[in-house]
Structure 1
Amino acid sequence: ISNCHLSLPTARTRQVMGEFGHVYEQQYAVALFNSVRFEIEGGGGPQSQLLHRKNPLEDRSIFSGGLFQYLEENKRWRNRFVFVADTYNISFYENKVAHERSLHPKGTINCAGYKALTSMEEYLELINTSLPGIKAKVGSGPFVKCATQFPLILWHPYARHHYFCVLTEKEQKKWHAVLQDCVRHSNNGLSEECRVQTPAFTDAMRLHRQAQGHYGTWDMMCGGPPQILANLVMETLHPELRNLIGPRLKGKIQQRQRNWMLISEAVYKQVLSQTQAQYEALVQTCEVEISRLDAVLRTDMDQIITSKEHVSGKIRALVLPRAEQLLRGSVQPFLSSILEALMEPTSRGFSEVRDVFFRELVEVSKNTLNGGGKDKLGEHMEKISMLAFHPVKMQSCYEKVEQLNLEGLQQRFDVSSPSVFIQRAQILMREQMDNAVYTFEHLLHQSLEGKVQGGEDLCKTIHCCQDRVLKKYDYDSSTVRKKFFREAVLQIIIPYMLKQLSPSFHLVRLTEYMHYIGTGVPLGTLPMLSDLPRFQELIFEDFSQFILVENVFEEVVLQSVTKDIMMAVKEAAVQKKHNLYRDSMILTNSDPNLHLLGENPSVDWATQYRGGNEEPEGALGGGGQSSRRRRQVVSMIQLDEMGPLPYESCLEVPGVDFIPEEGEMEEVEVKAQEPKEQETPTEPDPPKEPDSSDSVQEIRYHSKPVVEMMVSASEEDLAVLTNGTGTLEDWKEEEVTLITTVVEEMHRKSPQWMSAPQEVNEQLVETGSPDQEAEGGLQEKGEAAIEGKGEEDEAAIKNAIQEIEIAVQEEDGERITECAVDSDSEPGDTALHE
């Protein structure tokens, strides 16, 4: 890659940030004016009937467990402990012990802009379009060979892709739901609590893209401001670099795709670091002016509002006739179709939320009626309190909304995809579920406080609180849905109308027309521009930074369609199939003191109703964020008819012999055709850790005397096992450098080993019978290891030495530590070193 290509990202970032920064500074003053005006005048919609929880995930984590992760550095699969915190960032560690000790993670993924995939076919469809003019042949595989048939892939158009896999379909579904929730949360948009920065950023981003000719929704408007700005830069930079660098890439198609993805990742990292620094400097520059601007606003607010209304009237007289003509001819005929496409799946989703909430409470009532009492009630309420943030239980609700389809309307109204509306509806569903659960918790806790009730009375109390909450949910969900429909229709229609009206009025960037003043160009010769300078002259110079003609024009267009949209939503509310309340129906507040309960802290059901001594299932360390143990929302994965699994999900990394890499396919096919001896042992020995060509321990087996101790241990003995360093004294004469303690646990076997006896036989540790005494087995293993040293093939030793040098460079001394059993770790974890 030439120096010109390397400097192009920096130059393009500087250009885009310069253009965006000019618009942002203008919109920052406008947003500050709107914020102060709202503070003075007040306003807002109808009051919510349900309570709202401020910090629902306090002292919680979403999920954790083991996954196979593909490491692109050495093209190998490794077992990683994955932890999803309350921030929905995905962190992966070397193992569970590293996480519990609050060590730094191996990596962290911010899921903004990603897509969670569950098949290689979906992934191939996306990466085959990454390079222009290059299409993979039918049946050709990707450059990543999945270790199992249950992959999990995080795909991003610019950033690094992440590859995971699991052993069972059940694990795949649960992990996929968790990953989708992480993506959904990260794409939720900017915080509405920032009443100045957020509207200033979103308006500046919209106006900047409109100036470039891009109207309508944008799928990459996700993540924080630096990420969105990096996506904005990459929107034009990525295709340009692809056309410049793509033809120069050499090798097979898979290798070219891989190299291009590495280049794209490096460029995106560079752009993201630059947008981060430049955006922070831009915000700091604007915040310096806040005190001065705020003083002007609070002093002259009445005059500013009067001036703006005067300018709005002039622009409305000019724009409204053309806007109404466009509305009647091109928008009104499609309003009902747009609303129908939005309402059907959204209403089914909110109805499913209600059903899931109802079913969970019915289960609580059943268990309480069967003699569970308050102790059992506390256990069930502890789980229900996090129902909204349980991605697996909420999956049926989310799937209803995913059926939203705007086909036929997308092309006409320039809607890139319905994903923006789907994710927004899903976030609203989660909020309503949490509000319902939180309100039910407080009502039930208030009813039970200081009272002793039996099973039937307790069940009646639950039903009473349940009915009150469902009524409030019906009202609030109707209000939230109608607001969502209005906003979604505006997001579809307004960009379309602006795109049609802007060429007529040349109002894409009104502020730029001020450059014509004083240039000698007759303004009357410019079409439709004779009144624009007069509009700007109507605004006092001191108020010009708070009133922009460009914003006023958009507000006029917005006002022209708002009335029709409101009427369309009201007509839809009459239809029973949508389950919407009419606006004339006002729910009387039967709980006047209910909102006072929202000021109370969340109910700790585990402490108050179960004594607080039991450790909740899935309790984990804080991942370096807190020394307190967090309660996990999603329960650990347990395979059917299996005991608790080490690393909570996966057993061992599959041997690399089962994962052929690129260029090795032909060798694998030849080996597959060779006949193999079939062995069917009645009781297979416990498998050792899978062989790997880059394993430090394997090379030591080839080059040094190795002693393996077969010790029959019960579960009580597992807790007191040590790393066996005390036995070194007895083997000094043999120069033993490694002692491995292998503990038999026949009830914990991976389904992978059970389903492939031929592969198991190739990797089983050659030990004696399980009933053999430890002393005799120890002596035989030592003699076998010493005799085997002289019989090793020279070629195998040379290859092993070359591979160990690579392994030592990659993971330094970490694997040496992993070869011994850590005396501080849990027994279940010691059998899972890579």
Structure 2
Amino acid sequence: MGDVVSSHLDESRREMITARTRNVMKEFSAMYEQQYAVALFNSVRFEIEGGGGTQSQLLHRKDPLAGRSIFSGSLFQYLEENRKWRNRFVSVPDSYTINLYESKTAHERGLHPKVTINCAGYKALTSMEEYIELINTSLPGIKGKVGSNPIIKCATPFPLILWHPYARHHYFCVLTEKEQKKWHAVLQDCVRHSNNGLSEDSTVQTPAFTDAVRLHRQAKGHYGTWDMMCGAPSQILANLVMETLHADLRNMIGPRLKGKMQQRQKDWMLISDAVYRQVLSQTTGQYRALVEACEAKKAPLDARLRTDMDQIITSKEHVISKIRALVLPKAEQLLRTSVQPYISSILEALMEPTSRGFSEVRDVFFRELVELSKNSLNAGGKEKLGENMERLSMLAFHPVKMQSCYEKVEQLNLEGLQQRFDVSSPCVFVNRAQILMSEQMDNAVYTFEQLLHQSLEPQGENDTCKTIQRCQDRVLKKYDYDSSTVRKKFFREALLQIIIPYMLQRLSPSCSPELPHFKELIFEDFSHFLLVENMFEEVVLQSVSKDIMMAVKEAAVQRKHNLYRDSIILNNSDPNLHLLGETPSVDWTNKFGGDEPQGSAGGASAERGSGRKRKQVVSMIQLEGVPLPYESCLEVPGVELIPEEDAEVSEGKQEIHEEDEEDLPIHEDPKSPDSVDEIRDLINPVMEVVLPLSEEKESKLANGTEMTTGTIIMEDGVQEEVTSVTTVVENVPRQSVRDKTSPLSLLQQLKEGKKQEVDQGHQEKAAVARNAEVSAEKSDSQFSPLPPMATDSSSHDDSGFQSPCNEELDGGEPQSATHSLNGEDKVIDLADVEVILP
């Protein structure tokens, strides 16, 4: 594998990649420095003038996942190095990165993970069909089929694949369909939060970065949304470099790849991953240096802004009025002919699935509260309340429980409008809506927690259910208002993201040549904060904002969308509630002394300031009937050991026992002994050994047994007392069981006049049986710890030795039965035996 990469990525090509990355970063750095000053101006102006939207009715939790991990468990990973499947322990912390460990023990010891996956830019797939479709786009002219020699052979029918357009792909599989659904929900949540974009807390760096990326792509002719605007800034910049570099390298290296179709695809994925890692390392270092340089200039720029803010604002308004006179007529004409007829269609396509998703969030929250009331009532009031509330507090971050909400938004479809407005895919809007849904769920849960905690202080245990009901109704009303406000803001932003790039692309050819003339109207001291390109975009935005606002207001009147009209304002309607927002989160487990909720104790042992083990949001999956040794890093089991789809799966917490060894044998679970003989075997085990004997010793022991006692030294040095039983048996052909005389045949012979012969034969058999019983009784009385030897012809003999008392049954001559124990010989006369026939 390394040879393929090194042969196609020689020193000259690596230098070309470095130079291309340096050029892109140089262009981006110039734009970032300009946009940094503009963002600083907007931030300081907002700080001075104030303003903002409506106030949220629900409370916001400051650190929702403090002391939490999302999920941990075991699954099988495909190792491309040796083309084998290995079991790996996976931990998903609150950062939503995926850490893979050799075993659970390695994770608990705090060792570094073998692999850490940042899911930004990835897609979580559950079938080889989806994966093959994406792989076929990697190399032009090379199309693979699912049925013909796939790239990898999954060990189970339930794969999980993380696909990335540039970076390495990761392959996993699990044993059941239910396990696959849970893991897929977790992986999707990791991708969703990694793609969430940059932090909005940074009011300068974030807008400066996003505007610089957007302007850089527009300079290259790329307008519209961009799927790879995800992850950390360094990852976004690496994607920006790879957007053009990847295609050039593919055309350069692709025709030179050797081998079959699947092998060429594998080689190209390895080469692409190596290039991406090289680019990412460069963008990380260069972006860090760029931010440090801009931050060093922030203080003097901030001081100048605060001194000359009024003059800067006046100058900006003067220049914008001049630009508006040039741009507005053209923008209005384009708006009437190409935009307004489609606004309602775009809005309807966005609102239908989004409203269903937020409605599902409300329903899930309501169902959980109903379940909370039932559990509190049935469990006797507050005794289980702490446990139930601890579980409810993480509802918004439970990927499986939130999956039904997320699936509603995934139905968003912009087909038909997508091509017209250059929207690459609706994934950008789907991901944003899902993040907003998760935030609204957490706000509702947190508000309910604070209200319930405040209300339970003076209440008695008998009023718990009524208190829960009152808090529930209060929170649901606030959720309805907040969800309406959040959705309307989301619709306005989505419409702007779709329409503004389209209008800029149409207006730029005629307006851009005129823009440099407006720079002469800006004072040189203010030129850092006022850029004509930004003011041109502001004019275009203002031209379409009125139509977008009107469209959203008209939609709010329709009952099917469950939107509040803007005239309904609930600002400061509950001031006492917002005072609760300053209090820390309630620790329900310690507050009410409840037990650790099932499934909340995480497998992660990383500790925070409290020193406690981190709790886990999603419960484990326990497979019944799957041997524990498969929880260690063994090779994947054979197909015959994999449970069927309908295997029983319990949702409870599972303690996974990991083994450090790679190849341990699989033992069956120990069973309880079913008989006295088995108990004796457990106390004094019998080992059967076949040893050759000399002729002299064999003649002494012919058809008999000899018992001796002694001690042996075991491997661990402990002396054990053992009893040796030696049995010598003549090689006499044995008669089949079917040939033995049955009681029915004896009666028939009696009827035919052969009673004397039958009596004689039956007496001989009875004597043998009686001799066996006497011998067994004596053996049990004197050697009770020893397991009895098989001396009855009707008993099942597992020892492999033949009793001397069975010789008569095998067709030999009748002999006197003897049994030697402790040197005593007792002879039983066959004539003294009484035979009773039925």
Query: Same fold judged by TM-score > 0.5?
Result: yes
| Aligned mates of 1:282, 1:562 — CA distance in 2 | 34
Contact 2:69 2:604 in 1 (8 A): no
Change (3 A) 1:7 1:121: same
**Which deviations, in whole Å up to 9, do the C-alpha atoms of 1:325-349 show, x marking residues without a partner?**
0001100000100000000000000
SS class of match (1:291):
helix
Match of 2:469 in 1: 463
Give the one of 453, 460, 480 matched to 1:474: 480
Contact 2:630 2:637 in 1 (8 A): no
Match of 1:209 in 2: 217
Any stretches of 5+ residues in structure 2 without a counterpart? 1-7, 642-656, 674-712, 720-784, 790-838
| Aligned mates of 1:243, 1:321 — CA distance in 2 | 44
SS class of match (1:593):
helix
**Which deviations, in whole Å up to 9, do the C-alpha atoms of 1:82-101 show, x marking residues without a partner?**
00000000101111111111
Q: How far does residue 696 in structure 1 lie from its aligned partner after superposition?
A: 6.6
SS class of match (2:583):
coil
Q: Does 1:570 align with 2:553?
A: yes
Give the one of 597, 605, 618 matched to 1:634: 618
What letter matches 1:417 in structure 2?
S
| Aligned mates of 1:89, 1:5 — CA distance in 2 | 32
Q: How far does residue 136 in structure 1 lie from its aligned partner after superposition?
A: 2.1
Change (3 A) 1:348 1:355: same
Match of 1:79 in 2: 87
| Aligned mates of 1:149, 1:125 — CA distance in 2 | 18
| Aligned mates of 1:284, 1:299 — CA distance in 2 | 24
Aligned length: 659
| Aligned mates of 1:178, 1:709 — CA distance in 2 | 33
| Aligned mates of 1:200, 1:557 — CA distance in 2 | 19
Change (3 A) 1:138 1:465: closer
Match of 2:371 in 1: 363
Change (3 A) 1:375 1:75: same
Contact 1:323 1:501 in 2 (8 A): yes
What letter matches 1:276 in structure 2?
T
What letter matches 2:582 in structure 1?
E
| Aligned mates of 1:170, 1:183 — CA distance in 2 | 20
Change (3 A) 1:214 1:127: same
Match of 1:798 in 2: none
Match of 1:559 in 2: 542
| Aligned mates of 2:456, 2:545 — CA distance in 1 | 47
- Map 1:67-146; keep pairs closer than 5 Å: 67-137=75-145, 139-146=147-154
Match of 1:38 in 2: 46
Contact 2:634 2:663 in 1 (8 A): no
Q: Say which one has the larger Rg.
A: 2
- Map 1:417-428; keep pairs closer than 5 Å: 417-428=425-436
Q: How far does residue 4 in structure 1 lie from its aligned partner after superposition?
A: 2.8
Change (3 A) 1:647 1:10: farther
What letter matches 1:254 in structure 2?
Q
SS class of match (2:622):
coil
Change (3 A) 1:116 1:647: farther
What letter matches 1:354 in structure 2?
R
Match of 1:487 in 2: 493
Match of 1:597 in 2: 580
Contact 1:28 1:196 in 2 (8 A): yes
Q: How far does residue 648 in structure 1 lie from its aligned partner after superposition?
A: 11
Q: How far does residue 378 in structure 1 lie from its aligned partner after superposition?
A: 1.3
Q: How far does residue 285 in structure 1 lie from its aligned partner after superposition?
A: 1.1
| Aligned mates of 1:6, 1:727 — CA distance in 2 | 64
Q: How far does residue 610 in structure 1 lie from its aligned partner after superposition?
A: 2.5
Q: Does 1:185 align with 2:193?
A: yes
SS class of match (1:545):
coil
Q: How far does residue 590 in structure 1 lie from its aligned partner after superposition?
A: 4.6
Change (3 A) 1:395 1:567: same
Q: How far does residue 358 in structure 1 lie from its aligned partner after superposition?
A: 0.3
Q: How far does residue 709 in structure 1 lie from its aligned partner after superposition?
A: 12
- Map 1:802-821; keep pairs closer than 5 Å: none
| Aligned mates of 2:55, 2:524 — CA distance in 1 | 40
**Which deviations, in whole Å up to 9, do the C-alpha atoms of 1:559-615 show, x marking residues without a partner?**
000011000000000000000000001236553211111111101111111256778
| Aligned mates of 2:573, 2:302 — CA distance in 1 | 41
Give the one of 532, 536, 539 matched to 2:519: 536
**Which deviations, in whole Å up to 9, do the C-alpha atoms of 1:659-694 show, x marking residues without a partner?**
9xxxxxxxxxxxxxxxxxxxxxxxxxxxxx99xxx9
Q: Does 1:499 align with 2:505?
A: yes
Match of 2:299 in 1: 291
Structural RMSD (CA): 2.8
| Aligned mates of 2:28, 2:216 — CA distance in 1 | 6
| Aligned mates of 2:664, 2:630 — CA distance in 1 | 25
Change (3 A) 1:150 1:727: farther
| Aligned mates of 2:717, 2:153 — CA distance in 1 | 46
What letter matches 1:629 in structure 2?
K
Change (3 A) 1:656 1:244: farther
Change (3 A) 1:485 1:630: same
Give the one of 267, 270, 273 matched to 1:259: 267
Change (3 A) 1:83 1:647: farther
| Aligned mates of 1:367, 1:649 — CA distance in 2 | 34
Change (3 A) 1:446 1:696: closer
Q: TM-score normalised to the size of structure 2?
A: 0.75
Change (3 A) 1:711 1:573: closer
Q: Does 1:148 align with 2:185?
A: no
Q: Does 1:241 align with 2:249?
A: yes
**Which deviations, in whole Å up to 9, do the C-alpha atoms of 1:156-198 show, x marking residues without a partner?**
0001101100000010000000000000000000000011000
Match of 1:780 in 2: none
Match of 1:384 in 2: 392
Contact 2:196 2:432 in 1 (8 A): yes
What letter matches 1:181 in structure 2?
D
Give the one of 277, 281, 284 matched to 1:276: 284
Q: TM-score normalised to the size of structure 1?
A: 0.75
Q: How far does residue 451 in structure 1 lie from its aligned partner after superposition?
A: 3.0
Give the one of 332, 335, 338 matched to 2:340: 332
Contact 1:346 1:400 in 2 (8 A): yes
Q: Greater shift after overlay, 618-627 or 567-576?
A: 618-627
Contact 1:66 1:647 in 2 (8 A): no
Change (3 A) 1:6 1:624: farther
**Which deviations, in whole Å up to 9, do the C-alpha atoms of 1:730-785 show, x marking residues without a partner?**
599xxxxxxxxxxxxxxxxxxxxxxxxxxxxxxxxxxxxxxx999x9xxxxxxxxx
- Map 1:44-83; keep pairs closer than 5 Å: 44-83=52-91
Change (3 A) 1:371 1:63: closer
SS class of match (2:386):
helix
Q: Does 1:396 align with 2:404?
A: yes
Change (3 A) 1:727 1:159: farther
Match of 1:618 in 2: 601
Change (3 A) 1:658 1:265: farther
Q: How far does residue 107 in structure 1 lie from its aligned partner after superposition?
A: 1.0
Any stretches of 5+ residues in structure 1 without a counterpart? 508-527, 660-688, 702-707, 715-725, 733-771, 777-834
Change (3 A) 1:325 1:280: same
Contact 2:347 2:495 in 1 (8 A): yes
Match of 2:447 in 1: 439
| Aligned mates of 2:639, 2:471 — CA distance in 1 | 59
Contact 2:67 2:608 in 1 (8 A): no
Q: How far does residue 487 in structure 1 lie from its aligned partner after superposition?
A: 0.2
What letter matches 1:503 in structure 2?
P
Q: How far does residue 538 in structure 1 lie from its aligned partner after superposition?
A: 1.0
Change (3 A) 1:710 1:612: closer
| Aligned mates of 1:64, 1:288 — CA distance in 2 | 42
| Aligned mates of 2:714, 2:507 — CA distance in 1 | 86
| Aligned mates of 1:390, 1:306 — CA distance in 2 | 50
Change (3 A) 1:486 1:106: same
SS class of match (1:68):
strand
